[in-house]
Amino acid sequence: MQTIQEVIIVEGRYDKNTLSQVVRATILETQGYGIFNDKQKLQLIRRLAAERGVIILTDSDSAGFLIRNHLKGSVSEGRVLHAYIPDRHGKERRKTEAGREGKLGVEGMDGETLLEVLRRAGATFRDVAGESGTKADGRKLTKADLYQAGLTGRPDSKARRQALLQTLDLPENLTTNGLLDVLHVLYGYEEGLRVVGLSV
């Protein structure tokens, strides 16, 4: 499995699941049209674009292009790459019928196709290009670290997590896994430990 430096932006969790079987990367979901009203997530995407670069990978139907264009207009600085899946007609296995336009989405693409569209977009493959030198290199924070910091597994963990998200200016609905990904990208291991209140 190859590792990609940039953060990949996809529409939903099935896209994320498919992609995570093909590459090692930080993958962030727009939750479909939810991104239109999520100013916090847009702000996070801007930060990620400036810090590490983002790749926008949406479906090739009109909804996918609407989401892509919204992101394109909202993220004006940093490194923003666009990966386009080919128009292929059919339906995803989990669905009973094809979508309105009859096209396969990101989740319906095979691994080789996804790798190829990411290559064409200009993705930085670490195993090809070498280490990136970003804060994300090296060890990662884990759920055990979040537990030790009191951010999971305790009666007041949710409130503490919400306070941290607010302090870091991150979306309030960011999952625990999402928080780990973002801490990894923005801060790295040692600084991330300090951010969550643990000593190095």
**Which pTM was predicted?**
0.79
- DSSP lists the bridge partners of residue 2 as 23
Q: What is the mean pLDDT of residues 23-35?
A: 94
Look at residue 32 and give its three-state secondary structure: helix
Instruction: Please give the pLDDT value at position 174.
Output: 79
More confident residue, 184 or 157: 157
DSSP classification of residue 103 = B
The alpha helices in the chain, defined as continuous H runs, are 13-20, 39-51, 62-74, 111-121, 126-129, 143-148, 157-167, 176-195
| In contact, 61 and 105? CB cutoff 8 Å | yes
Closest CA to 31 of 48, 46, 58, 11: 11
Asked if the model's pLDDT at residue 130 lies above 60, the reply is: no
Q: What is the pLDDT of residue 129?
A: 42
Mean predicted confidence (pLDDT) in 139-144: 90
For residues 29, 35, 41, 42, the Cα torsion angle rounded to the nearest 10 degrees is 120
SS3 of residue 112 by DSSP: helix
pLDDT at 100: 78
Evaluate if residue 137 carries a pLDDT over 60.
no
What average pLDDT does range 150-171 have in this prediction?
91
Comparing C-alpha atoms, which of 89, 94, 34 is closest to residue 61?
A: 89
Cα 5 to Cα 48: distance, rounded to the nearest angstrom: 11
